[in-house]
Amino acid sequence: TVLGRDRTSGGDVVFKHAQTNAEIPGVDLDVILRDSYEATRYWRHPGVLVPFAGFERDGHFEIALRYIPDERRSVLSPELMRDHAAEILPQLFSAVEFIHLMGYVHCDLKSENIFIDNRNEHNRVLITDLDLVRPVGSKPMGKIIGTQPFIAPEVLEDDIFVAQSDYYSLGVIMFLLCH
């Protein structure tokens, strides 16, 4: 992930490319990132941070995302949940429901992929890292993807992505944030 500048708007953007992983060949990661971009590029929801551009560079696929400055961005934390749960939870579930209504599963929900944009003293939830979104009912491309302990048992046992998998992940997130 690299910070850059949008030539058109002059604003800061984040460029992200598929990183090589010994367990999944790099070519497959490019395919996964491209598929994710194609699936999400036209999505519009205030709680889902989607890429606004995708392109080839140096033989790899990259995406461009809106940059949220560090001073405005927080990762979902126990303190934020304790102090702002009534504001955060409806937004969080609305964003996840939107992803499911689009026919996809996030596949990597964890607190690190849920940002809180606190511009104008309002906490706005942003679900990020849509790189691994997969169609509901699909099977993983090769190895199981996601982050332990947030991967739902049905993904591990049945090797299939269902909407309930994301709700399992949200349950683990809430459990870890509250304990």
Q: Is the omega angle on the peptide bond into residue 149 within 30 degrees of 0, that is, cis?
A: yes
Q: Is 158 a catalytic residue?
A: no
Nearest to 94 by CA among 161, 48, 163, 39: 48
Query: Which member of 6, 12, 35, 108 is catalytic?
Result: 108
Catalytic residue list: 108
